[in-house]
Structure formats: C-alpha cells, structure tokens
Amino acid sequence: MCDIHQGAHSHQTIDPAAAEMIEKANRENIETVWDRYEQQKPQCGFGDLGLCCRNCLQGPCRVNPFGEPKEGICGADADLIVARNLLRTIVGGAASHVDHTFMAVQCLKEASEGKAPYPLKGTAKIKSVAAKLGIPTQGKTDTVIAQEIARAALADFGSSTDDPMNWLKATVSPNLMETWGKLGILPKNPDREIRTAMHQTSMGVDGSPINLLLSSLKMGLVDGYAGLQMGTDVQDIIFGIPEPVKSEANLGVLSHDKVNIVVHGHMPEVSEKIVEWARKLDGEAIKAGAAGINIAGICCSGNEVLMRQGVPLAGNYLSQELAIITGAVELMVVDVQCFMPSITKVAACYHTKVVTTTPIGQLPEAEYIPFTPENADIKAQEAVRMAIAAYAKRDPSRVQIPTQKSEVWGGFSVESIVGALAKVDAANPLKPLVDNIIAGNVLGAVGVVGCNNVKIVQDQQTVEMVKDLLANNVLVVATGCTAHALAKYGFLSPAGAKKYCGEKLLAVLTAVGEAAGLGGPLPGVLHMGSCVDNARIGDLLGALAGYLGVAIKDLPVAASAPELQHEKAVSIGTWAVALGVLTHVGLVPPVLGSPIVTKVLTADVEGLTGGKFLVETDPHLAAEGMLNHIRAKRKALGI
C-alpha cells in the first residue's frame, strides 16, 4: 500500500493544511482517497444516472437512456429502476441513523438503571422530552423519568400496530401530521418501515415509481424522527445540552509533544469516554515522556465532543487519512460510519494504532476493543493506554503537522440559542429574532449540512456558497462535515461574522452576542452539531413557525448539502423536503436516468409537502437560487 502512488493531482482541496498533507503523502508514496478516485475514472455512466439494477440474480441489468434496451430483464424501466435505487439509498441512510440512535437509547436505558457509567447530564432535556412525550414527572426523580423515556423510545421500536411513531407525534406540529397523514407517509415502527421498504424494492414487488417516491418521503421521516430527533434528544439527556464553547479547527490542532488521540465516527458513547479517560490518564502520558494527551475529532464524533467538551476539530471526511499522514497520531478510535477502510493501510505506514469499537464496524488490521455501555470505562482506559504506549514509537523525522488552525465556536443547541436571545427579551426570546427577520435585518436562514465528496474540491462549494449567503444577510447554521469545513476558514467565530456577514446581519449578531455576554458578535455561522443534530434545525424551524403561526414551508429558509457523499445525506435531505424546506444539493444524485423521478423531486413534490430539491453544482448559482426562494417566501408572508 505504501508504495502505490498515482502522483500529485491539483484541484483536490482549498484547505492549505490538507494540500500540505497530500503533498507529504505523495512524497512518502502513500495512497489517499484522491488517488483511488483517479483509479476509478471514468465512473460508470449507467450508475451515475441510477440506471443499473442488481436487485435480482438475473441482472445486473442496465437500461439505455438514449436507445435500447429500455427495460431490464423483468421489464423494469428506467423510472422504476431509478425510483427503487433511490429508496434503497434512503433506506441505507435512515438505517444508519436509526441504528446509531438505537445504541444511544440502549445506553440511556442502562445508564438510567444504574448499569452503565454515564451520569445523565441533560436534566433540562429529561424534563422537556418527558413533557413532549406526555410522561408525567411529578414526584419522580430524573433517573426514573429517564427510564420511562428510554422505555418510550424502545416502545416505538417494539410497536406492532399501525399507529404512527410516538416520537414523531410528540415532536411535530398538527399541520405536518395532517400533511403527512393525507399522503399516507406517517411512519410506524421504524424497523418495520425499513424492512417493508427493502421488501417493496425487491424484484417483482412495487412497479410504481410514484408509490416508491412516497415511500422515500416516508423513509425520510423514519430518519428524521427515529434517527435524528430521537438520537439528539437521547444524546442530550445522557451527555448534556450543548452550550457555546470555544475551540480550534484544522490539522494544526495536533500536538508535537503530546500523545495525539483522534476520535472518528459518530457515537458519543464512545468518544465522550475516550475524552474523559484521556483527561484522567494525562499523568501516565507525562510519565511516558509526552507533554500530556491531546484529543482531536474527525467527522461527526468531532462535532459531538467539540459541542460538549470543547475538543478541537482535526478535519472533516476527506481529511481523515491526512490526519494520520502527519505522522503525529498515536491512536485513531472509530465506531460506526464514515471511516474509510483505507485508514488502517495508511496507519500501517506509521506508528498509528487504529481501534475499532463496535461489532459491526470492524477493520481487519485494527485492534478491536469492544465497547458496551457497561464496560465503557474499562475499554476507554485500554484504548487510551494503547495510545500512550504508541507514543514511544513515533518517528519525529516523519512528523509534519500543518500550522493552520482557526478559532471555532461550537455548541449552538436550540436551548442555547434561545438562552442567548432571552438575554435580549427574557419574556419572549424568539421575538428579537423574528422581529429582525420581519424587519429584513435577517433576510432568512439556511442550514448548510452534510459531507465532503472526493468529486468536489474539498470545502470549496461550501465556502463559496456560504460567503454569498452571509453577505446577503442570511443567517447560516451548520452541522456535520460542512461545519468542519466552515470552521477551518473562520466562519464559526466572531471574527468570521465581521469578515463575511452583511452589515444588517452583523448588527443583529452583535446585539445578541453582546447581550449574551460574549463581548462581540455571535458567529455568522452557528455550529449546531453533528449530522444527527440536524434535528436541532428541525426544532428551531418548528419553534419559529409556531411563533409566527405559519407552517415550516412558509418560512424564508432553505437547506443545503453542497458536498454530499453518504446515503445519510440523501435521507436527511428527503426529511427536509418532507418538512417543506427547499433543499439544495451540490452534486447531481443518481436519478437523472428517470424523467419522472427527476421531475417529482425537483418540482412536483412541492405541491405535496411545500419542499423540493434544488440541484445546482455552481455554489454562486446555488446561493442565488436559495436567496430567490427566501425572497419569494418573504413576499408571500407580506414581509
């Protein structure tokens, strides 16, 4: 592996730290994601259009958009094949989030029963979640209420009725229940919906592209409420509701003289424990000759521990190999999702240890330390001690840590945003924000979310698009790897607000920031967390719509995944469209092979939910499209 090398390629990233590490990889003959992308070219045109089917063993079948054959062996045409493939993609995304959430719920159950070493830190969230679920709290301890919340969550997974999921019913407004009810897309037991969708898309079942698209919307809701919402609620109960916290972002956060541990993946049950024990075992690292232990995060694990622990961000999805290529990482701990199978191969070129922690997330060359909620303390110590032992094997002659790092503020939960606004108007916290939206000082808001994708110059679309939005006084909230991207260029800091925001938006951010005691503006881009935390954006939209007495689809807002990569980004985007939000994607998803699917997703669905997809690969045109949408929504509201 260390000697396969395809040479340097330009146009990979706008991040100088990443570029420096790509150069180092080339010098050291280490293959990266960009090299493997080159080897895959040209990628299959049928697949790109969504026109290949492997759903039965008579295939693979491919249909030709420009001629023959027009059907697969069973008679499935382009529209059907594309619609089936899309639903399976969304099932993949929803299943990832729902499984993540299920593990968090198990952790809550065991923690609340005193069987797992996680003190429940989100006491306010226990109250608010119990209230929305209708769980009586009077005379009960937090622990008892938390047990009941865990049972309520598990009841959604155990339900065998045709009633919609309780967690969804407890979260959304009556108008959404009505819209989704009429469309017949209210999800029942999420596991059952996932099973049914796999069945529906198998050979010889559903032949209706429209019916499959409705199931896609339903699967978006499965993700939205059994993945994102339940996950965020439960994680806040266990680990605490995030509060604004200052840290740093980019590869420059790695340390020359400390043991570097990188947490990567998604599950705070794992990353929080690694952080806790890294802090507790700092003395052992010092005894081993290091200056202590430094923790940094990649992908959504990074977002989770930034928000609650102030741990710095090392980099987003495309930077995961590059962190190891610094030669300074002793240990990378992964759990589930978004870690490339290549990381153990890159690690083998250095002294870096990779630890896997879950039964479903194994890498053959890694050390497997099976984490469970009960044994988390013991396993976290084992992993941290492995990092300390590896420090002695670091080869200083191969260490090169880029100097780049930027100030970042994380932890803008809805609760903390409302808390900051309450400093302006304690009785009516949403009023200052809404008044400024009505006055046009805040033109609207856009949630910029999602991944990096090797097909797109790393961070470029995100940064260019967000510059245009902020300059036009649009408030931006960010999650996932997009939040990392924006963090690296200073967008998530007060200085970034001054640099990038239009005058009117800056004035609002300054007023709120100063009232909240930050001594300056809030960042122009508010970091709302990991991808599961997109539920926070849904909560904020719900609160704003409720305050104004309108539906979410009427708000001057949009969503964007400029550099989407994972199936999860597609399922989150579908949830946003179901909510009634215009949702931009910066890369053409594999649906163009079907005229029907393309038209429904980018036009007709608006008549059903109020939302639709906007496909635009140019960041400036994407910003313009969202700005036009925001202006039209303002006009319709008469503001």
Using CB under 6 A as the criterion, which residues of the chain lie in contact with ligand NFS when the complex forms? Answer: 266, 299-300, 317, 337-338, 450-451, 480-481, 530-531, 565-566, 568-569
Closest separation between CB of residue 193 and ligand SF4, Å? 22
Q: Is 73 in the site for ligand SF4 (CB under 6 A)?
A: yes
The answer to whether residues 198 and 547 touch, using CB atoms and an 8 Å cutoff, is no
All residues at 6 or more sequence positions from 478 whose CB lies less than 8 Å from its CB, including other chains:
447, 448, 449, 466, 486, 491, 492, 525, 526, 527, 528
227 vs 625, which CB is nearer to ligand NFS? 227
428 interacts with, out of ligand SF4, ligand NFS, none, CB within 5 to 8 A per kind: none
Separation of alpha carbons 364 and 544, rounded Å:
48
Nearest distance, CB of residue 430 and ligand SF4, angstroms? 50
- Residue 74 binding target from ligand NFS, ligand SF4, none, CB below 5 to 8 Å by type: ligand SF4
Nearest of 94, 89, 336 to residue 193 by alpha carbon? 94
| Of 5, 36, 48, 74, the one binding ligand SF4 by CB under 6 A | 74
Applying CB under 6 A, which of residues 59, 207, 310, 542 lies at the interface with ligand SF4? 59
Q: Which does 450 bind (CB under 5 to 8 A by kind): ligand SF4, ligand NFS, none?
A: ligand NFS
Task: Give bridge partners of residue 331 from the DSSP assignment.
Answer: 261, 353
Residue range at the interface with ligand SF4 (CB under 6 A); choices 54-62, 128-136, 233-241, 299-307: 54-62
Peptide bond into 42 cis (omega under 30): yes
Among 56, 210, 550, 621, binds ligand SF4 (CB under 6 A): 56
Coil vs helix vs strand at 368: strand
Q: Closest CB to ligand SF4 among 76 and 212?
A: 76
> Which long-range CB contacts under 8 A does 208-213 form with residues at least 24 apart?
208/80, 209/79, 209/80, 209/82, 209/83, 209/594, 209/596, 209/597, 210/596, 210/600, 212/80, 212/83, 212/84, 212/86, 212/87, 213/83, 213/86, 213/87, 213/597, 213/600, 213/601, 213/605
Give the nearest distance from C-beta 63 to ligand SF4 in angstroms: 8
Q: Are strands 474-479 and 259-264 parallel, antiparallel or unpaired?
A: unpaired
Q: Supply the minimum distance, in Å, between the C-beta of residue 68 and ligand SF4.
A: 15
Segment interacting with ligand SF4, rule: CB under 6 A, options 29-37, 50-58, 117-125, 540-548: 50-58
Shortest CB 197 distance to ligand SF4, Å: 16
Candidates 17, 61, 570, 576; binder of ligand SF4 (CB under 6 A) is 61
Fill in the per-residue mask, 199 to 238: x = in contact with ligand SF4 (CB under 6 A), - = not in contact. Answer: ----x-----------------------------------
How long is the chain? Answer: 639
Q: Which of 50, 72, 429, 610 binds ligand SF4 (CB under 6 A)?
A: 72
* Strand 259-264 relative to strand 293-298, pairing: parallel
- Give least dist CB 606 to ligand SF4, A: 30
Alpha helices in 532-583 (DSSP H): 534-548, 567-579
Partner from ligand NFS, ligand SF4, none binding residue 317, C-beta < 5-8 Å depending on class: ligand NFS
CB of 228 to ligand NFS, least distance (A): 10
Question: β-strand 525-529 against 406-410: which pairing, if any?
Answer: unpaired
Identity of the residue numbered 394: R
HSE (side-chain half, CA atoms, 13 Å) at 252: 17
Q: What is the DSSP letter of 224?
A: I
Nearer to ligand SF4, 53 or 311 (CB): 53
Tokens of 57: 């063993």
From the list 610, 4, 584, 12, the residue with the least C-alpha distance to 342 is 4
Nearer to ligand SF4, 8 or 203 (CB): 203
How many angstroms separate the CA atoms of 175 and 629, rounded? 22
Beginning with the edge strand found earlier in the chain, give each strand of the sheet holding 612-615 in spatial order.
525-529, 474-479, 444-448, 557-561, 582-585, 612-615
Enter the DSSP assignment of 610. S
Q: Select the binding partner of residue 386 from ligand SF4, ligand NFS, none (C-beta < 5 to 8 A, by kind).
A: none
CB of 444 closer than 8 Å to CB of 433: no
Among 29, 43, 58, 208, interactor with ligand SF4 by CB under 6 A: 58
Closest separation between CB of residue 80 and ligand NFS, Å?
A: 28
594 near ligand SF4, judged by CB under 6 A? no
CB of 234 to ligand SF4, least distance (A): 38
Cβ proximity to ligand NFS: between 587 and 600 the closer is 587
User: How many other C-beta atoms are found inside a 10 Å radius of the C-beta of residue 58?
Assistant: 12
Residue span binding ligand SF4 (CB under 6 A) among the ranges 70-78, 239-247, 528-536, 584-592: 70-78
Q: How far is the CB of 80 from ligand SF4 (least distance, A)?
A: 8
Task: Kindly state the number of chain residues that form the binding site for ligand SF4, as judged by CB under 6 A.
Answer: 12
Q: Is 511 exposed, middle or buried (0-12, 13-18, 19+ CB in 10 A)?
A: middle
Shortest Å, Cβ 47 to ligand NFS: 20
Given the complex with ligand SF4, which of 32 and 89 has the nearer CB atom?
A: 89
Nearest approach, Cβ of residue 77 and ligand SF4 (Å): 9
- Give the C-alpha separation, 574 to 591, whole Å: 14
Task: Work out which of 19, 76, 103, 165 binds ligand SF4, going by CB under 6 A.
Answer: 76
Q: Which chain residues interact with ligand SF4 by CB under 6 A?
A: 53-56, 58-59, 61, 72-74, 76, 203
